[in-house]
Amino acid sequence: MTTRTHPSTEPLPFRRVLVANRGEIARRVIRSCRDRGLETVSVFSDADRGAPHVDEATYAVALGGTSSAESYLDVAKVLDAAARAGADAVHPGYGFLSENPEFAEAVAAAGLTWIGPTPESMRAMALKVEAKRLAAAAGVPLVPGAELAADVSDDELARTAAAVGFPLLVKASAGGGGKGMRVVRDPADLVEAVEGARREAASSFGDPTVFLERYLERSRHVEVQVFGDVHGDVVHLFERECSIQRRHQKVVEEAPSPGATAATLEQMYAAAVSLAQAIGYVGAGTVEFLVSGEGQEQEFFFLEMNTRLQVEHPVTEETTGLDLVAWQLDVAAGRPLPLPQSAIERHGHAIEVRLYAEDPAQGFLPSTGTLTTFELDGLRGVRVDSAVAEGDVVSPFYDPMLAKAIVHAPTREAAAADLAGALSHSGISGVTTNAAMLAAVLRSEAFLEGDTTTAFLDEHP
């Protein structure tokens, strides 16, 4: 199923959208804006001067600098670019400033439309400890865990950890992406793990707060896509499974989940919608869960809520036929959700992989250089959301993701075979990629049997 553009032809109350991002998500947003007759504004750093997202927008404004801090994370520069280009709306994409409530407030204060959730919703879900309190109040089950005081003694820490149970995770309250996170199996390693996680959390997020959480071995990571509007309505667009991860970063995403039972999913949908309603959520969001066990013994637990469009949103688009960015535009314009829950359906199976410029044989070291060939676009039956084009330089300044490749097919087996074949026949030179590893995952017996837990890459290196 290919995604369709939104059927509405009604003009939106904004006409020129600045995309405060880069790479494939900037190109993705530009595409939906163009379909709706909107003009777009790209912003770019010195390192991205010749990038595809710069050429594809109606207008482009230089931010200067090379690092993220000097360019895409500089709120003043982004707002200045919006003013200079005459933009009247801002879409943040994902990453960078997408979950920054101060940026959302600054956009609104400048008289621009913010295409995203409210700053209040972002704040409610930003700190994992507070998010868990809100989830519990909304009736969403939580993984056994405990908060830690900043001055907790070693003895108290040991007692708290014993009550949570081993193995356990030490997790940063702020941020994500695997930073400020440690798995502890032996109580003797606990103090060192907490100290290390606090240091990393303070360095990465400016907040050293960490908490303890039971580590569920061989669990599944399953998330529910939700959407809310300013009229108080919230719907779900089913689930995605993202269990295959490396260092807590997703590698393969798919829908439907091959392992969550129908009974578990119905409860998860209800829990996700309940949480979104509890915080008055507006726009696209994802409620993430851990699913443990099999059959009637299966349980699920709240992990966190991401208050933005997810990297893996194409999986939902391909199975529902809906354009989620177009939905974001409608909701930001104050319109009701395009469809009620009863009219949202899905068909077939979709799988997405993230193609990175990295060398799996060298510990997944990022690979930089000039893409002398990049023959991935145009593979029949494969949707490619790419950040780059042939001749582009892959620099060390940003995330090394080159593209996302997505296949939709009538069955999971067909989707896996088609995507593995496409990856095997891709022509990319100039940098090393993880394409062969991704194809091997999709062809592996464990994957095809649906044995996709968060331990997958550890068990099948």
pLDDT of residue 380: 73
The dihedral built from the CA positions of residue 74, 76, 82 and 85, taken in this order, carries a sign that is: negative
Q: What is the 3-state secondary structure (H, E, C) of the chain?
A: CCCCCCCCCCCCCCCEEEECCCHHHHHHHHHHHHHCCCEEEEEECHHHCCCHHHHHCCEEEECCCCCCCCCCCCHHHHHHHHHHHCCCEEECCCCCCCCCHHHHHHHHHCCCEECCCCHHHHHHHHCHHHHHHHHHHCCCCECCEEECCCCCCHHHHHHHHHHHCCCEEEEECCCCCCCCEEEECCHHHHHHHHHHHHHHHHHHHCCCCEEEEECCCCCEEEEEEEEECCCCCEEEEEEEECCCEECCEECEEEECCCCCCHHHHHHHHHHHHHHHHHCCCCEEEEEEEEEECCHHHCEEEEEEEECCCCCCHHHHHHHHCCCHHHHHHHHHCCCCCCCCHHHCCCCCEEEEEEEECEEHHHCCEECCEECCEEECCCCCCEEEEECCCCCCEECCCCCCEEEEEEEEECCHHHHHHHHHHHHHCCEEECCCCCHHHHHHHHHCHHHHCCCCCCCHHHHCC
pLDDT of residue 8: 63
CB 319 within 8 A of CB 383: no
pLDDT of residue 382: 93
CA distance readout (Å), 331 to 232, 318, 336, 411: 11, 21, 7, 32
- CA-based R_g, the chain, Å: 21
* Amino acid present at 16: R
pLDDT of residue 77: 98
pLDDT of residue 177: 67
Which portions of the chain are predicted below pLDDT 70? 1-9, 175-177, 377-379
pLDDT of residue 5: 46
pLDDT of residue 248: 80
What does pTM read for this prediction?
Answer: 0.89
pLDDT of residue 378: 52
